[in-house]
Amino acid sequence: MAKSKKSSLSSIDSRRRDFPATQPPQHRSGSFPRRIQLPRDSCRNHFDLVEPQINAEGVHVWPFDAPCPVDVLFLTVDDRHKVRMNRHRYFEVLYLCSGSANCRIQDRLLPFNQGDLAIIGSTLYHRIECRSSAPLTIAALFFEPDLIRCDGASDSAEYLAPFLLQDEDFPHIVPAETGVPRQVLDLMLRIRSELPASSTRGRLALKTYMKMLLMQLVNQYASYAGTAETYQRQQYNLERLRPLFRYLGENCGNQVQVREASRICGMSESHFMSLFKRVTGLSFVTYLNHFRIERAQALLAKTEESMADISQQVGFCDQSYFGTVFRRIVGMTPAIYRRQLRTNASADQQQPYHMPPLNTVALAPQRGNSRVASAQEESLLRKARA
């Protein structure tokens, strides 16, 4: 774990002194088996589920059930298909059930081993990269912070402190040996058992389990707090790049050089390239190629257009070069990708029983959310600054 910092959240820290984060909870031997056995039909392919829902800004948008914006699902990840670097407005907790991986967050590469937990906030570009020969299995919790904020309690935002105050040294990985990951997994499974939370009792149980889970993380990070300035700086940098993300979304087929991209953002080429890599974790050219290939995948799936037409529409002048980049990113040629989609169409369209169908409303970007923090978040950040 990265070097801890003295917590500036004194109101939290004072209440944790007799529950130290460094001492793993005591359990009976064998009460938590190392490997989690999951029903095969519960797992979804990570690439197929996530990649199509990443927009031009590199933001993954998840179709939550509006009355209860939380979801728990099981994902398989292999080394053939890498989801591009992305971020999201929801918060994410990942438990690695099997295999070994790296958690790439911005320009950091963090070892992520079986039984570990990964904690990821809303401002950092990231992805999971497989290190084992067999596919990974991951239990994932996605939730909107408003699920906790909407209670209206004065201290609700403090439950979210581990997600809000993540700086460049934040220890995103909670090791298995602390005992915390298995306790969190148990609560994730309890949350999943309540989905869809269609009754008053179900929603009450779900929020209770969510707060118990978040309390485990608050305890774990009680001795560590990033600074409010880090969170605000990341938001500011994202705003500086937003005109470019908007331009890419509207002009995917146009040629965009670094010079043009830096002009759109109103900065020098050298400063633009440095900022873009720091914010997204990728060079601009790599990011642009991944974005264009994602658009091509959507056209291959939804249209009968030729490879030549699709390569032109997504900004590749040379069809051969388009095929080379596509194969490097996706792991197969465009023709094979389209053929596999048609062969497995019925399986690919199947949704988890508690997840609403994808639609254009659910996938629309929420422009206001990334600009203004809630009053509770601002209060928490002021505490951290004090």
What is the per-residue pLDDT across 259-314, written as a single tens digit (0 to 9) for each? 999 999 999 999 999 888 877 767 898 888 888 888 888 888 888 899 999 999 99
> 171 and 235 share a domain?
no
Mean pLDDT value of segment 38-45: 71
| Domain of residue 108, residue span | 39-223
Distance of CA 57 to the CA centre of its chain: 13
pLDDT tens figures, 317-366:
888 999 999 988 887 899 988 888 777 654 444 444 333 332 322 223 33
Mean pLDDT value of segment 162-179: 89
pTM of the model: 0.62
Q: Per the domain annotation, does 212 fall within a domain? A: yes
pLDDT tens figures, 121-152:
988 889 999 998 888 999 999 999 888 877 65
Domain count, the chain: 2
Among residues of the chain, what percentage have pLDDT more than 70?
Answer: 75
> 183 and 215 share a domain?
yes
User: Looking at residue 293, which CATH number applies to its domain?
Assistant: 1.10.10.60
- Contact (CB, 8 A) for 138 and 129: no
> 215 and 338 share a domain?
no
Identify the band that residue 155 occupies on the pLDDT scale cut at 50, 70 and 90: low
> 153 and 233 share a domain?
no
> 187 and 315 share a domain?
no
> 68 and 155 share a domain?
yes
User: Looking at residue 136, which CATH number applies to its domain?
Assistant: 2.60.120.280
> 49 and 94 share a domain?
yes
> 144 and 191 share a domain?
yes
Q: Per the domain annotation, does 94 fall within a domain? A: yes
> 61 and 185 share a domain?
yes
Q: What is the 3-state secondary structure (H, E, C) of 32-43?
A: CCCCCCCCHHHE
> 52 and 185 share a domain?
yes
pLDDT tens figures, 201-226:
988 899 999 999 999 999 998 877 55
User: Given its phi and psi angles, is residue 37 left (phi above 0), alpha (psi -120 to 50 degrees) or beta?
Assistant: beta
Rounded Cα–Cα distance for residues 191 and 205 (Å): 8
Rounded Cα–Cα distance for residues 58 and 68 (Å): 25
**Among 112-121, 174-183, 184-193, 377-386, the least confident range:** 377-386
Q: Per the domain annotation, does 14 fall within a domain? A: no
Mean pLDDT value of segment 96-104: 94
Q: Which residue has the tokens 């873009």?
A: 276
Beta-sheet pairing, 91-98 with 117-120? antiparallel
Rounded Cα–Cα distance for residues 355 and 70 (Å): 10
* Structural element, H or E, at residue 310: helix 307-313
Q: What is the mean pLDDT of the chain?
A: 77
- Contact (CB, 8 A) for 229 and 385: yes
Last residue of a domain, one of 223, 249, 266: 223
Q: Per the domain annotation, does 272 fall within a domain? A: no
> 191 and 81 share a domain?
yes
